[in-house]
């Protein structure tokens, strides 16, 4: 291969890599625009009344662009919780590293989730009883279930055949957490997040610690 051909091929590869980088940068920007559009429409129209057309017009993108990233409005809504999932995972890891004892390490995501719910309570209220609320709460439940399941995985060697099934414990803890959070938000979140977190942890953690005994 001549020097000229090598140079030409290198230029084409460089152009291709450059275009790919531009596209890679556009992906998160486009997804952020779609999320912002949906969130801005929920207080105005209510989740169920929002159409894909509404979202595209608010984000100033075409329908083909929407479907290049998401399969539906629900899919878009679920994806909006990915930053929250990453944040909760990080908090749980930090608790494992920095906590002084088992009680402090358990449910390390709890306070951060309460704080997030408090900061977004108007958004949650706007979706109560709607399809959007069902999607949101279902997504949060799955995130929390995965976190609790991961936390309990370390007790596998200590659980006897006569013990309570781990999956039952996961559903019990997450169900209780969701019920407490809903009750707290419905009451206007009057208790500080730190207080409701401390109360929930006092009720839940003792049972989790006993699971491994």
Range of lowest pLDDT (4-13, 104-113, 183-192) = 4-13
**In sequence order, what DSSP letters do the residues of the chain get, joined into one string?**
--HHHHHHHHHHHHHHHHHHHHHHHHHHHHHHHHHHHHHHHHHHH-GGG--HHHHHHHHT--HHHHHHH-SSHHHHHHHTTHHHHHHHHHHHHHHHHH-SSHHHHTTTTHHHHHHHHHHTHHHHHHHTTSHHHHHHHHHHHHHHHHHHHHHHGGGGGG--TTSPPHHHHHHHHHHHHHHHHHHHHHTTS-S-HHHHHHHHHHHHHHHHHHHT-
Confidence of residue 156 (pLDDT cuts 50, 70, 90): low
Confidence of residue 19 (pLDDT cuts 50, 70, 90): very low
Calculate mean pLDDT across residues 156-173.
73
pLDDT of residue 106: 84
Higher pLDDT, 156 or 68: 68
Confidence of residue 204 (pLDDT cuts 50, 70, 90): confident
Higher pLDDT, 19 or 52: 52
Tell me: pLDDT of 184 over 50: yes
pLDDT of residue 210: 57
User: Which of 102-111, 129-138, 173-182 has the highest average model confidence (pLDDT)?
Assistant: 173-182
- Taking the whole predicted model, whether its pTM rises above 0.85 is answered as no
> 27-86 pLDDT, tens per residue?
899 999 999 999 999 888 988 999 999 999 999 999 999 999 999 999 999 999 999 999
Confidence of residue 169 (pLDDT cuts 50, 70, 90): confident
């Amino acid at each position: 291969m001549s020097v000229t051909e090598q140079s030409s091929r290198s230029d084409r590869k460089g152009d291709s890599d450059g275009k790919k980088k531009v596209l890679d940068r556009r992906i998160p920007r486009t997804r952020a625009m779609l999320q912002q559009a949906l969130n801005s429409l929920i207080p105005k129209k209510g989740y169920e009344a929002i159409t894909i057309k509404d979202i595209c017009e608010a984000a100033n993108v075409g329908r083909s662009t929407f479907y290049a990233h998401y399969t539906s409005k629900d899919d878009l809504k679920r994806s909006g919780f990915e930053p929250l999932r990453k944040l909760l995972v990080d908090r749980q890891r930090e608790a494992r590293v920095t906590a002084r004892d088992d009680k402090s390490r358990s449910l390390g995501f709890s306070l951060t989730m309460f704080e997030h719910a408090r900061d977004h309570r108007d958004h949650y209220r706007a979706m109560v009883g709607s399809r959007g609320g069902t999607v949101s709460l279902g997504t949060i439940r799955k995130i929390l279930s995965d976190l609790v399941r991961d936390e309990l995985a370390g007790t596998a060697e200590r659980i006897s055949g006569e013990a309570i099934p781990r999956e039952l414990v996961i559903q019990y803890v997450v169900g209780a957490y969701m019920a407490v959070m809903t009750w707290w938000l419905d009451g206007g979140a009057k208790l500080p997040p730190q207080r409701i977190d401390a109360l929930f942890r006092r009720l839940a953690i003792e049972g989790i610690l006993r699971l491994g005994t």
